[in-house]
Amino acid sequence: MGDTVHIRGEGGTVWEMDLPLSPDIQKRLNAGHITRVNPDGSRFAEPEAEPDLDLDEDDGDPGGEDDDLPPELQEFLDTPPEPTPAPAPPARKPRGRAAQ
């Protein structure tokens, strides 16, 4: 038997459906008109995927940096950012006769 999911329809009935879902059922699921539930009808929680902590694409290199970057990009990443200039003080309103 293939993979199945449980779907609560618009009327509240829980249906067991084979995967892949038909395009019509998939559209209704994506739109939120029907929802995926556990076999007992309780709310279904997607299992969390384990994070891939090794972002290095070099199989033999245990380090965390990717050595395949072009030199220009590596130089850009290694260059510290320039400090941002301080904001200008607010303009003062003229006083006296010039303000009239």
Residue 99 domain-assigned (yes or no):
no
Residue 29 domain-assigned (yes or no):
yes
pTM value surpassing 0.75: no
Q: What is the pLDDT of residues 7-39, one digit of tens each?
A: 998 888 999 999 999 999 999 999 989 999 999
Q: In total, how many domains does the chain have? A: 1
3 or 49: whose pLDDT is higher? 3
Residue 43 domain-assigned (yes or no):
no
Residue 65 domain-assigned (yes or no):
no
The per-residue pLDDT for 49 is 72
Residue 72 domain-assigned (yes or no):
no
Q: By CB neighbour count within 10 A (0-12 exposed, 13-18 middle, 19+ buried), where does 70 fall?
A: exposed
Residue 82 domain-assigned (yes or no):
no
Q: State the average pLDDT over residues 33-50.
A: 87
